[in-house]
Structure 1
Amino acid sequence: MDWLDYLFILIAYLVAASIKGLTGIGFSTSCLPIMALRLDLKLAIPLVIIPSIVSNIAVMIQTGRFKQAIKRFWMFYLASIPGLLLGLLLLVGMQVEVAKAILGLVLIIYALWALVNKSASLPEKWERSLKIPAGFSTGFVNGLTGSQVMPSLPYLLSLKLDKSDFIQAINISFTLSSLMMLLGMNRLGYLSPDLLFLAILGLVPVLGTLYIAGKLQKKLSGDSHRKFVLGVLLVMGVMLLLKLIR
C-alpha cells in the first residue's frame, strides 16, 4: 500500500463513522465503496469489519432496548447466518461487480419509493412470516457484496418502529453479520496480521467521529431521522452503481 491508499482508508473511516453516528446505519455500506475506489474488495472488507463491529456495539450501548429487539427479531437474526455463509462461499473467486451494481439499483429504487410513500408500512400479520426469508436474504447479500442493509433495512423501516427500536434492531443484525463475516474471512485467509493491525488502528478516528455524530443524532426528530436514513441509502446506491462504471 502507498500513502494514497492509506488516505482513502482514513477518509472512508471518517465518512462512514459520521453517517453511522447520525443515522445508526451504513458504516460498512458507505465505507466499502470509498475503499474500493483504491483497494480490492477482498482487502477492503477485512479493513471494514472490525471498525464496523465496534461502531455497532457503541451505537447499541447508546440506544438501549437490546432485550426487546432480541425477543422480537431472534428468528430474523438466526436466519441471516446460513445466508451469509452461502454468500461468502460464492464470493470466493467470483466477480461481484455486477451483483454490487444490482444492489445499488435496488437501494436507489427503494429509497426513492419510500421517500414518496411516507405512509407505506408492512401489515402486522406479515411481520412474522417474513422474518426468516428477510434474515436469510440479508445474510446472503452481505456475504456476497459486504453490504448489510438489504433487505433488512426496508423490512425494519416498514414496521414503523420507534427510532430507538429501529436503530437497536438493525445494529444487532449488523453486529451478528460482521462477526460471522470476520470468522469467514479469517477462514478464507483474507484476514492478514497487517490488515488486522490497520483495522484496529482505525478505531481511533472511527470512535472519535462516532461520538460527535451520535450527539447530533439525538437532536433529530423521528421523521427527520427516517429521511436522513433514506437519503444515505440513496447515496449508497449511486456509489455502488458508479463503482461498476469506473
Structure 2
Amino acid sequence: MLSKYFGVFLLLVLLAEILGTVGGFGSSVFFVPIANFFLDFQTVLGLTALFHLSSNVVKIAFFKKGIDKQVILYLGIPAVIFVIIGAYVSQFFNTKILTYFLGGFLIVLSLIFLVFKELIIKASNKNAILGGVLSGFSAGLLGTGGAIRGITLSAFKMNKEKFIATSAIIDLGVDLSRSVVYYNNGYIQKDILYLIPILLVISVIGTYIGKKILNKISQDQFRNFVLILILIIGISSFVSLWF
C-alpha cells in the first residue's frame, strides 16, 4: 500500500512534522497513526524511532537558544529508562491491540486538554520524573509520548525556543534507546531503510516551516487546532481497524 500512495504518505509526513513543531507535541503523535495506515504497527514503531532521531537533531539545530539542564536530568533520565521497558514489552502485544491502545490514548489525551484548557502541572522535580516515566513508557509501547512530555514541560514556563530544544534533546535520548530495542525486536527491516534520507529532508523542511509559523502566531493559538486534529486521528485509528 505504501508504494501505491507514496506521494500521499510523504505529504502527510511533512504535515505531521509541521504540526508537531508548531503544536509542541512532537511529530510522532501524528506520524504514528498516519504511518499505521500504510505499514504494520511494529514496522511503524521502528520507522518512527529512526525518523524522530533525524527530526530531533534538526530541531536542536533550529532551536538552540538555551536548554534547561535540570529538566533534562529529572525528566530525560526516567524517559530513557522507561522507553526501553515500553519498547521491550511491545513485542508481547498483538499489533491490533496496540492500534486500539494508540487510538484510545490519542482520544483521551486530546479530550482532556480540550475540556480542561487550564490544566496545569506544578513545576517540581517529582512531576518531572513522573512525566518522564509516563512519556517514555508510552513512546516505547505506542510510538508516541510527546504530548505527555509537552504538558509536563509547559509547567516550567520556558519560551518557545527553549521548550522545543529541551524537548528535542530528551526525545533524542529516548529515540536512540528505543531504536536499539526495536532493532533487537525485529521491527527495523532493511526494506524500509531507504525512507530514512527522505524523512531527514522532510524533517528539515517541516521544522523550518514550523519555525516560520511559530514566529507569526503564539503556540496557544495553534494548540486547540492541533488537539482537534489529534482527536480526529485517534478516531481514525479505530476506524482503520474495521476495514
Taking structure 2 as the reference length, the TM-score comes to 0.83
Residues 147-162 of structure 1 mapped to structure 2, 5 A cutoff: 147-162=144-159
2-structure distance, mates of 1:41, 1:103: 10
Tell me by how many angstroms 1:5 deviates. 5.2
The answer on whether the counterparts of 1:141 and 1:150 sit within 8 Å (CA) in structure 2 is no
Secondary structure at 2:193 match in 1:
helix
Which residue of 2 is the match for residue 133 of structure 1? 130
Say whether residues 1:210 and 2:199 are aligned partners: no
Q: Deviations over 1:136-171 (max 9, x none)?
A: 221111111111225322322344443333322322
Question: Cα–Cα, structure 1 residues 190 and 72, in superposed 2: closer, same or farther, change >3 Å?
Answer: closer
2-structure distance, mates of 1:99, 1:192: 19
Tell me by how many angstroms 1:17 deviates. 2.0
Which residue of 1 is the match for residue 100 of structure 2? 101
Which of 181, 184, 187 is matched with 2:184 structurally? 187
Which residue of 1 is the match for residue 37 of structure 2? 37
Q: Deviations over 1:104-149 (max 9, x none)?
A: 434434433434444332234xx21122222122111111111122
RMSD: 2.7
Sequence identity percentage: 23
2-structure distance, mates of 1:12, 1:72: 32
Name the amino acid aligned to 2:38: R
Question: Cα–Cα, structure 1 residues 2 and 9, in superposed 2: closer, same or farther, change >3 Å?
Answer: closer
2-structure distance, mates of 1:59, 1:211: 9
Question: Cα–Cα, structure 1 residues 10 and 189, in superposed 2: closer, same or farther, change >3 Å?
Answer: same
Tell me by how many angstroms 1:43 deviates. 1.8
2-structure distance, mates of 1:230, 1:160: 20
2-structure distance, mates of 1:202, 1:120: 34
- Number of equivalenced pairs: 243
2-structure distance, mates of 1:233, 1:161: 23
Tell me by how many angstroms 1:60 deviates. 2.3
Tell me by how many angstroms 1:234 deviates. 3.2
Name the amino acid aligned to 1:177: V
2-structure distance, mates of 1:100, 1:70: 34
Say whether residues 1:78 and 2:87 are aligned partners: no
Secondary structure at 1:218 match in 2:
helix
The answer on whether the counterparts of 2:55 and 2:203 sit within 8 Å (CA) in structure 1 is yes
Question: Cα–Cα, structure 1 residues 20 and 73, in superposed 2: closer, same or farther, change >3 Å?
Answer: same
Q: Deviations over 1:156-209 (max 9, x none)?
A: 234444333332232223222111121112222332333222222332334223
The answer on whether the counterparts of 1:32 and 1:48 sit within 8 Å (CA) in structure 2 is yes
1-structure distance, mates of 2:155, 2:224: 13
Tell me by how many angstroms 1:87 deviates. 1.1
Taking structure 1 as the reference length, the TM-score comes to 0.83
Secondary structure at 2:224 match in 1:
helix
2-structure distance, mates of 1:59, 1:129: 27
Name the amino acid aligned to 1:156: L
1-structure distance, mates of 2:97, 2:185: 22
